[in-house]
Structure 1
Amino acid sequence: MKKLILSLGYYRGWKILFSSLVLILLFLIFFLKFLNQKNPETAVHIQNENSKFFYENLLKISNKESIRNSTEIFTVTVPHHLLASDLIAKTFKQIEDQQPKNIFILSPDHFDRGKTKITISNIPLETPISKTLLNKSLINKLKKIKNIEVNNEVFKYEHGIGAVLPFAQIVWPKVNFIPILIRKDAKKEDLEDLIRFLNENIKNNLIIESSDFSHYLNEKDANKKDQETINIFSNENPEKIWNLNQPDNCDSVNILYIIKKLQTLNNWDTEFYLNRNSQFYTKDNVNETTSYITFFNSGEEMEIFDKANEILLAGDFFTGRYNLENFRNQEFLNKKINEILNKTKDRKMILNFEGYLDQQCVFDQLKLCMEEKPTLEFLKELNVVAVSLANNHSLDGGKDKYNFTKNLLEKNEILVVEENEYEKIILNKYNFEILGLNDINPITKERNNIYLKSLSEFLDQKKDKFFKKFIFIHWGRENSNSLDTRDELILAILGKYNFDGIFGAHTHIASNLSYINDLPFVFSLGNFFFDQINNSEQMIRIKFFDTGNFSLKNI
């Protein structure tokens, strides 16, 4: 009996001890959880097989381009397909001097793992580089927004974040990162509060859009979709973004809409930087490709110079009449050349050549004569590679002077675009064609000179992989930058054909670049250099990419 009592005593003692240990353990669990809420030490480890060296080396070997204004960048778009990791590194390299306090990374929720349409994380994300820093205040504000929920586990498998974040951590090691995932079923109304939040918190911060573009198409079709995407994003109307197809154009139409909406609200300047297709990385023919477009939105006019792959399209050019004496003065000539080169950076140029060349000219109010020696020096120093003679002053000196002018220009390696003819321009590895059209009769000066037959002949020409076709048209009324009924009729006809851009001259008044049915259009390039007071020296920069696609910009 005594032994039984002792056994029961030991049993009760162990039971009390065990219960106490359980209570202590539960207390510790809740206490640690409390501490973790106050000072989160845990992190989501993002699946990533690459080493820190992989990211550091790619950034190290990336070149920084010559850039005008790169200190006020608000958004940058990069791919998350690591096949194109060199594009991510190269794009970030261009803005490494930025010093944002916080970086928002917008990525598709590729597999719709988030329970809500927008998902965020409130603990650090861990990559091969480090754990991310947090901005609790911004995260708490985001948590209050409709359609947003915290789900840390989702980020473990999201390559839209995992591919881009390590590069960003190296470039900006002391920045807070706020990752945001958006499901493909998020509609415009689901994004309004997030757009408002981002717009209110953009100052001193940066938004990274992690997005690939065309998916599952062959290279040729993907390139067409990329050009369509570039043109639609360049359009002033953000609602046009919803016309894009997912995944033919991009893998996240709604995120692209967010970026475009912010760009429109703030009147940011967009600079497209790179466009490439996954076919670039293999010699084997690929039936289903992925494409990549990188670009920036800046508070200032931004340019990344790529002289070999850029050409400038300028308006009306004339060096005679009231400029005759100026052009006989070498000091004036040199000064003007230097002024213009400071803007063009010696990039190749195409312009509208108004008049004819002669050894010596006399002042004439109506006949536009230019003296050959200073004019040719001017053109060659400015790196003019082609001119259009499809205008109402090309025959001012008669047919003989027209032929003399044409032959002299070509002798000096300046291509001539003639009326109702096209000229092939070779820029680095890219070929494109310019069709010269003229609605102003060079004899009568009346607006009745368009021949529509030449359009059909032009379009029948063989179009190779890198061919783009632009119209350079002389039309409109002088000293006006608005279309009248006749101009609108011509434009409607031209719009039915598969041109890549329409650029006008003659009015002497510059118009802005716009998009009509997603077709790049400039009614009038204005005066590039003329003996009038309204010399705008406006140019349209055409920048070509690896795909043969292009972007346009007023400079």
Structure 2
Amino acid sequence: MSILKIAKDILLAGAFWFCVVSGLHAEQDMRSPFVAAAWDKAALTAAIEAERPAFDPPKGVTGLTVPHHLLAADLVARGFWAASGNEYERIILISPDHFRKVQGHFSVARADLETVFGSIPTDGAVVDTLLAQPALFEPATDIQSEHGILSVAPFIRHFFPDTPTITIVASIDAMRDAWEQGVAALEPFVTDNTLIIQSTDYSHYLLLPDAIRRDQETLATIAAMDGANISRMLQPAHMDSRAAQYLQLVLQKNRFGAMPVIIANRNSAEYGSGIGSTTSYVVSVFLRDPAAGSVLRYEDHQLTFLAGDTLLGRYFQPILQNRQTTESIADTVLGVTRGAPLVINLEGVLLDEPVVGLGSGSHAMLTETAMPLLKRLNVIAAGLANNHSHDLGALGFAESVRILSEHGLMPLKHGEIGDLGGFRILPLGFHRGRGMGQRVVGSAEDLKAVCAQAAEPPLVAFVHWGTEYTDTATDAEREAALALNRCGVTLVAGAHSHQATRNIESLAGGAVQLVFSLGNFAFDQRSDRASGALLELRVFKQGTIAARLVPIPNLFEVGGEQRNQKALVPKPARLPQLI
């Protein structure tokens, strides 16, 4: 981070602390101290300019979650910049009812919103329709004092000045049956060109370590996109409006099929508020196309991708001997990762020279064909905790380790923790292969021995497990993930099954995230039997991890067939229980 950026951050934080403090003590200002900073045009403009991105904002943004504490005005601006490449016919703004003015479940504002940048028109026809359901919606009163609305409204006016807005305030006492009714009432008005903005601050009144723990649980819940999990969240220990979070997740899933990219997780302590009674902030951007989200890059967190099964030999090798097909594969991957560091599961043995007598089906890869692609894709580490890394015995395994190391790639050996900067990674193999001397997790005791190692959090387990040609975890894998969580693991990502999981699971209330399988990355199997996904990990300064899955095309098919060779597809095999 540059000195100029740090200076901007300090000045910005100071400006907003001044606004808040002056608002608390200036008797001549009749506005609520909670919204005083919303009327400081210069400070808001500075926050917006400080977050102006260097990239072109993506198309297809359907939702935002932003803070309403203007201490974090820069993060509010970050969220709006992410959506700024789009035009909308309607905005739905959802806020918590901080002052318990809502008598029932939800209120909706009739009047236009006034901001320091001008007024925001209300979508009157929709408001009238909602208010025709008095058991669910009531007219909002004194909306200008609700900072969940007034803190966000200036950004709406600045970025989308003429867009009609529906302003909804959700009672903090509303429960899931009311949330579901709210979804049903709003869904007809969520058009293809609607932006849903959720105004929410996250963990409240907690010591910093407790806030970080709650934030990690919340990030896991958002990534899982399962509205049912929201009812198990604590209010305000996790967030100040479960209702707003539920409406956002379910409307995004039902109406757009959109997925979140979490681009910020920060605590008020980072702004100088102290580590006592803190507030947390999360910025989420919902997108129709998951691949488009990787353009959202920021200096305040580390971005890394994990990829699944990789075999750049056998029937894949002829493809890599053709420069055009190799570039096509590279362009496909880089279109998602945009050159971010990549970690793969290397399913085989890496050799400098061919070995005489190996069958055509062997899992051997030549350095001269495999390494250029790995470097082109910015692969920084390769998992060797799998059932093919010892196919040529201990000597073959040692050769893979040597070649990877000499080319600057970290070899990830079973049970040995690797440091990837923002997080630590623990590779674990659960299936024994053909070679001798391979270590695997074969029992609960083996897992305990592995977990005895010390590692600075956050810790990610990269595991080779499960049944081939499946995409869903069994109870055995879930139990193993929970056992790893008790050892300090925040996220478990799997490989081996050749089929990619479609969703991230949130276990133990979000304490651990489970991605059963990333499927194939670059492997000589066709899409009728195999699939693949990349796992994007964003590691924030406070040590929390936001994960999301990005499906990728079948790279074997992208590269095309060479010499009319067909992919070798073994028959599925039933493998033993994990623990």
Q: TM-score range by the shorter chain?
A: 0.7 to 0.9
- Cross-structure match for 1:14: none
Q: Is the Cα contact below 8 Å between 2:265 and 2:280 reproduced in 1?
A: yes
Give the counterpart letter for 1:418 in structure 2: K
Equivalences for 1:364-375 in 2 at 5 Å? 364-375=359-370
Structure 1 stretch 288-297 or stretch 361-370: which is displaced more? Answer: 361-370
Equivalences for 1:147-226 in 2 at 5 Å? 147-152=136-141, 154-203=142-191, 204-226=193-215
Among 327, 331, 346, the residue aligned to 2:320:
327
1:251 aligns with 2:240: yes
- Cross-structure match for 2:310: 317
- Cross-structure match for 1:357: 350
Give the counterpart letter for 1:142 in structure 2: L
- Cross-structure match for 1:547: 542
- Cross-structure match for 2:64: 76
Structure 1 stretch 120-129 or stretch 487-496: which is displaced more? Answer: 487-496
Equivalences for 1:272-287 in 2 at 5 Å? 272-282=262-272, 285-287=274-276
- Cross-structure match for 2:492: 502
1:456 aligns with 2:448: yes
User: Could you say what secondary structure the match of 2:65 adopts?
Assistant: strand
1:524 aligns with 2:517: yes
User: Could you say what secondary structure the match of 2:119 adopts?
Assistant: coil
- Deviations for 1:360-404, whole angstroms, at most 9, x for unmatched residues? 225524532211222222211211111111111112222122112
CA apart distance, 1:510? 2.5
1:293 aligns with 2:282: yes
User: Could you say what secondary structure the match of 1:456 adopts?
Assistant: helix
- Cross-structure match for 1:439: 431
Shift of the 411–279 alpha-carbon distance from structure 1 to 2, 3 Å rule, reads same
Give the counterpart letter for 2:409 in structure 1: I
TM (norm. structure 1) is: 0.83
User: Could you say what secondary structure the match of 2:75 adopts?
Assistant: helix
C-alpha distance in 1, partners of 2:103/2:465? 57
1:117 aligns with 2:120: no
- Cross-structure match for 2:260: 270
User: Could you say what secondary structure the match of 1:213 adopts?
Assistant: coil
C-alpha distance in 2, partners of 1:504/1:544? 19
Give the counterpart letter for 1:99 in structure 2: E
Shift of the 490–366 alpha-carbon distance from structure 1 to 2, 3 Å rule, reads farther
User: Could you say what secondary structure the match of 1:296 adopts?
Assistant: strand
Q: Is the Cα contact below 8 Å between 1:513 and 1:520 reproduced in 2?
A: no
- Deviations for 1:135-168, whole angstroms, at most 9, x for unmatched residues? 321221122122422243x223211111111121
C-alpha distance in 1, partners of 2:480/2:92? 46
C-alpha distance in 1, partners of 2:515/2:303? 18
C-alpha distance in 2, partners of 1:253/1:374? 52
Structure 1 stretch 168-177 or stretch 247-256: which is displaced more? Answer: 168-177
1:343 aligns with 2:331: no
1:409 aligns with 2:404: yes
1:514 aligns with 2:504: yes
- Cross-structure match for 2:116: 128
User: Could you say what secondary structure the match of 2:93 adopts?
Assistant: strand
C-alpha distance in 2, partners of 1:420/1:220? 28
CA apart distance, 1:494? 4.4
C-alpha distance in 1, partners of 2:113/2:317? 68
Give the counterpart letter for 2:429 in structure 1: L
C-alpha distance in 1, partners of 2:544/2:140? 39
C-alpha distance in 2, partners of 1:333/1:114? 60
C-alpha distance in 2, partners of 1:86/1:181? 23
- Cross-structure match for 1:421: 416
Give the counterpart letter for 2:335 in structure 1: N
Give the counterpart letter for 1:553 in structure 2: R
Among 468, 471, 482, the residue aligned to 1:478:
468
Shift of the 459–304 alpha-carbon distance from structure 1 to 2, 3 Å rule, reads same
C-alpha distance in 2, partners of 1:307/1:479? 37
- State the percentage of identical aligned residues: 26
- Cross-structure match for 1:27: none
Give the counterpart letter for 1:126 in structure 2: E
Structure 1 stretch 107-116 or stretch 335-344: which is displaced more? Answer: 335-344
Give the counterpart letter for 2:346 in structure 1: F
C-alpha distance in 2, partners of 1:125/1:484? 51
Q: Which has the larger radius of gyration?
A: 1
Shift of the 476–431 alpha-carbon distance from structure 1 to 2, 3 Å rule, reads closer
Shift of the 178–329 alpha-carbon distance from structure 1 to 2, 3 Å rule, reads closer
C-alpha distance in 2, partners of 1:185/1:405? 59
Structure 2: runs of 5 or more not aligned? 1-29, 551-579
User: Could you say what secondary structure the match of 1:303 adopts?
Assistant: helix
Q: Is the Cα contact below 8 Å between 2:202 and 2:280 reproduced in 1?
A: yes
Shift of the 247–320 alpha-carbon distance from structure 1 to 2, 3 Å rule, reads same
- Deviations for 1:465-493, whole angstroms, at most 9, x for unmatched residues? xx222222222333344556865775565
Shift of the 289–336 alpha-carbon distance from structure 1 to 2, 3 Å rule, reads same
Among 457, 466, 469, the residue aligned to 2:459:
469
CA apart distance, 1:250? 0.5
CA apart distance, 1:329? 4.2
Give the counterpart letter for 1:218 in structure 2: L
Give the counterpart letter for 1:312 in structure 2: F
Shift of the 511–330 alpha-carbon distance from structure 1 to 2, 3 Å rule, reads same
- Cross-structure match for 1:240: 229
C-alpha distance in 2, partners of 1:491/1:276? 27
CA apart distance, 1:207? 2.2
Q: Is the Cα contact below 8 Å between 1:394 and 1:442 reproduced in 2?
A: no
TM (norm. structure 2) is: 0.80
C-alpha distance in 1, partners of 2:479/2:503? 20
Q: Is the Cα contact below 8 Å between 1:447 and 1:475 reproduced in 2?
A: no
C-alpha distance in 1, partners of 2:182/2:412? 50
C-alpha distance in 1, partners of 2:289/2:210? 34
C-alpha distance in 1, partners of 2:547/2:189? 30
User: Could you say what secondary structure the match of 2:423 adopts?
Assistant: strand
Shift of the 508–195 alpha-carbon distance from structure 1 to 2, 3 Å rule, reads closer
Moved over 6 A (4+): 444-448
Aligned alpha-carbon RMSD (Å) = 2.8
